[in-house]
Structure 1
């Protein structure tokens, strides 16, 4: 029977558990898809679509697309059962989701792949994506710190610094999305202003030398984390002040830890390690299709 692509259903759950059981068998981490699959099915609608590849009535692949903004779509959760890889099923899923996202009005589509995921990197290129940026996570510990440089909450100053930052250039203007976990979207002035009111925007120095913005708090592996959409700075002293400000902000929230998206450059990674402590072991890559309509 030829593979068909259809909308995911709740009765696909056991098949999804099976096909994700050995996705990262060589790494000490479990796939998150079984934990979120039922929510994905429930949340399908105008701004979210979850598809599976069906072979003989059995789901052997899955992927999801989410509309983040009026122009930006995010593709995630691409998985194909190990017994069915190399048959073009991943591209079949991606093509259908690209069509759906373009019909929904998105003009650009992006996805994230762990840098160690060789199969995912190759699949992204095969599906028409191009690598556009990479980032890493910094994890300053919540603490009642007093930064050596003044740290304020000023979206206007933060926007001015962000606009001229080399970190913004490296990240192609992207930051952690406000609505969708693990997704990146364009950081706009409007969103930064909203985060300044609803969350927190941190600026370093009277003449700005750094900025960060808190996007949400979330639960991860039993811990409550404060997530910061991006952190950028000009030098190591500004980095230390920024991470101290983040640590103090997180301590006021009473969370267990933090996650700060930073650009993947030698300067940013080295200075974050020096000033902010723990950083993630490997970077993550962001891939992009600049015009979905060309492929839909």
Structure 2
């Protein structure tokens, strides 16, 4: 009888700060999923394969995955690295999406091409072993010392190449007052971001108008951003000692089952697996 290899498991450290969630350590497998953040992947050891929604696969050491794009992670034994999830409206998120300019957003080859260093006449893509355009250090994140500090991450400020195909969705560089107000209100709300109808009422716009403006400026629909923000709020609550049920209610989920479904849909793993990956007991 041939045994099926066990799925690679996540294990490492997690950092949650406004506009950024970062994981460093052992990279595991995920189910197919998409999320509202811009994902930056750096593999420092081992083999990681990315798959897009059409089933195309590529081994990747560096990748930038746009928000809202369905993908899957398949990690070989002993694979380690850094995964950063960036708010698409942050300076870092905008810089990362800039590298996708002109590339088909839903193709795995584009994600790798966007992150691949493009050497100038001086022979360098960026000024050092860090993410200058993203503001992300390649070391110093909590949890593990798997060599991330020894690997260079490309500077995302350089625009993407002009490949054929549909260009990636990218947020606009300016900021609309309604979007700014909505983001502030969502952050200040003790129960998490309100529904689109409720938010539209608070910023004195119709829901259809706010939906259009929000998508144009953030690069993804309000509903998708709201789910992502609620999930981050729940994970942050767990990080500070809340149970899954307490975190679910604090973030505006109906119950822990609703939180689990959302986490699996957005990250490809369950909250329990995420907690176990960072050494927390469930």
| Coarse TM-score class (shorter-chain normalised) | under 0.3
TM-score (norm 2): 0.26
Q: Which has the larger radius of gyration?
A: 1
